[in-house]
Amino acid sequence: MKLYLFFFAACLSLCACDKGKTMQQIAQESQRHQFDSIYSILKKEYFIERDSFSSGMPEIIYPKNKPNSPWKDYLWSYFEIENGKAERFRLVIQNSEGKKIDGTIMFKFNIDGKIVDIIIQSYMAHESYKGNYYDIPSAYAAEFLDSLKVGSKVKMKVTNLEEYTTRTISSEEINNIIKAYQYYRGLGGELDSPDISVNQDN
């Protein structure tokens, strides 16, 4: 196997020399091909909005089945593409008037028997009398995202430590989040948050 890999690498090097390309250039072309392939899928499956008031003209990638109302009980996600790279993946949790808990400090999930917490910071919360929604950076939702699998059974508890509500997350919600996060990582996206430093090498 090692010998095969050696010859494979040698062939790549020869091809690179013949075409006047370095291994780094070949790797960059491969990454670009992967980006273009995923982006062509995004154009078919997602809404792509462009913010002309931001530098770099970032594109915001929204799922086509995103709820029309922010007050519907629903989980979904979105991210941005800026300068050829995916950035700022966000998990959105919406709670209707009947399920909302004002002053929510935590979302607790049971994912196939595994308990995962998402701690809410004040800047993530958007609360009103009609319902609440929370815009959560990927760094805060990392364990939740890594624990999800197609077919997972997921229950969610919304709490402020004094009261709570619960509901079961649908397979549609779960599968859409998984797919969006896979595309995000495939486009070079990393865990991030505006208020904490994330080092993925650790």
Secondary structure letter of residue 108 according to DSSP: E
List, for residues 25-45, the tens digit of each pLDDT value: 665 666 677 788 888 889 899
How would you classify residue 63: left for phi > 0, otherwise alpha for psi between -120 and 50, otherwise beta? Answer: beta
**Alpha helices (H) along 46-158:** 142-147
Mean pLDDT of the chain: 85
List, for residues 165-186, the tens digit of each pLDDT value: 999 999 999 999 999 999 999 9
List, for residues 113-145, the tens digit of each pLDDT value: 999 999 999 999 999 989 999 999 999 999 999
pLDDT tops 90 at residue 163? yes
Q: Can you say whether the dihedral through the CA atoms of 40, 42, 47, 52 is positive or negative? A: negative
List, for residues 60-70, the tens digit of each pLDDT value: 999 998 998 88
Q: Can you say whether the dihedral through the CA atoms of 189, 195, 199, 202 is positive or negative? A: negative
> What is the pLDDT, as a whole number, of residue 28?
60
Q: Average pLDDT in the 100-114 region?
A: 96
List, for residues 142-157, the tens digit of each pLDDT value: 999 999 999 999 999 9
Do the Cβ atoms of 88 and 195 come closer than 8 Å?
Answer: no
Q: Strand order in 125-127's β-sheet?
A: 46-50, 59-63, 74-82, 85-96, 131-137, 125-127
- pTM here is 0.81
